[in-house]
């Protein structure tokens, strides 16, 4: 890992803590987009009964996350993966489980879960979501080159703003403030008006100080 002086390390720690605390918020901000745009395909390939069952289990998972019920989140995620493999809900469960295991320090298992989503999926939005989570994991581990590589490829219009924001965080963690500012400004340009993430990105720009 890279080494930093005390001020630089405070910046690194703040960014890593942000993604530990709010990583799942990023997922929930775009889940509606992923399921909404891919939902038609999903319904075409699964029976109504299976879809309803998977949806009900995923709703329980969301409630468990909101209540910070870690054990329940793990169990429900595993159930979705085992019983409804190949569905959007199972892949979203993998991403949620990756967050849970990374919170416990098992970054390699988290990376493996996210890579499974990328490898086994054809939906561009869900792949982009998984790439964002993978980059966040590498950022937390201070493996900045791998974090950037994770963001390679077309993010799609719905995710390009979040990808730019993540690049800004990777640059900021390395005290590359000019590059970070440019990435954050790109994020503002790409995020849709009214997106709640806009305010967060602006706070990050302000925290860099004046040029």
Report whether pLDDT(205) > 90: yes
Residue whose structure tokens are 């970054």:
107
Q: What is the pLDDT of residue 30?
A: 52
Q: What is the pLDDT of residue 40?
A: 46
pLDDT tens digits, residue range 156-184? 777 899 999 999 999 999 999 999 999 99
Residue 161 tokens, joined? 């703003």
Residue whose structure tokens are 């792949």:
127
Residue whose structure tokens are 């320090």:
105
pLDDT tens digits, residue range 79-118? 998 988 877 888 888 988 888 888 889 999 999 999 999 9
Give rounded-to-5 percent helix, strand, coil for the chain.
Answer: 80, 0, 20
pLDDT tens digits, residue range 16-53? 566 555 555 455 555 544 444 444 454 455 455 676 78
pLDDT tens digits, residue range 125-164? 888 889 999 999 999 999 999 999 999 988 777 789 999 9
**Mean pLDDT in residue range 47-76:** 81
Q: What is the pLDDT of residue 121?
A: 74
∠ CA 110-111-116, nearest 5°, is 100
Give Cβ neighbours of residue 44 (< 8 Å, ≥ 6 apart): none
Q: What is the pLDDT of residue 64?
A: 87
Packing angle of the helix pair 160-173, 124-140 (nearest 10 deg): 10
The number of folded domains in the chain is: 1
Q: Indicate which CATH number applies to the domain containing 173.
A: 1.25.40.10
pTM here? 0.74
C-alpha 148/C-alpha 101 separation (Å) is 22
Report whether pLDDT(201) > 60: yes
Q: What is the DSSP string of 45-108?
A: TS-HHHHHHHHHHHHHHHHHHHTT-HHHHHHHHHHHHHHSTTSHHHHHHHHHHHHHHHHTT-HH
* 1 assigned to some structural domain: no
Domain range enclosing 186: 6-207
* 70 assigned to some structural domain: yes
Q: Which among 67, 127, 44 has a CA at the least distance from the CA of 91?
A: 127
Share of the chain above pLDDT 70, in %: 75
Instruction: State the virtual CA torsion across 11, 149, 131, 9 in degrees, nearest 10.
Output: -10
**Mean pLDDT in residue range 186-201:** 88
Between 49 and 119, whose confidence is greater?
119
């Amino acid at each position: 890992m890279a080494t930093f002086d005390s001020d630089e390390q405070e910046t690194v720690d703040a960014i890593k803590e942000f993604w530990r605390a709010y990583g799942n918020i990023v997922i929930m901000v775009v889940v509606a987009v992923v399921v909404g745009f891919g939902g038609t395909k999903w319904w075409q390939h699964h029976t109504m009964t299976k879809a309803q069952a998977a949806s009900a289990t995923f709703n329980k998972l969301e409630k468990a996350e909101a209540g910070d019920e870690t054990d329940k989140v793990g169990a429900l995620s595993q159930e979705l993966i085992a019983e409804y493999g190949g569905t959007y809900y199972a892949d979203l469960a993998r991403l949620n489980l990756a967050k849970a295991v990374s919170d416990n320090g098992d970054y390699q298992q988290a990376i493996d879960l996210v890579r499974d989503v990328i490898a086994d999926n054809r939906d561009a939005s869900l792949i982009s979501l998984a790439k964002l989570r993978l980059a966040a994991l590498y950022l937390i581990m201070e493996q900045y080159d791998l974090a950037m590589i994770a963001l390679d490829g077309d993010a799609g219009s719905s995710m390009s703003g979040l990808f730019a924001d993540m690049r800004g965080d990777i640059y900021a963690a390395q005290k590359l403030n000019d590059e970070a500012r440019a990435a954050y400004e790109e994020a503002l340009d790409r995020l849709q008006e009214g997106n709640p993430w806009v305010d967060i990105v602006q706070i990050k720009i302000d925290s860099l100080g004046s040029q």
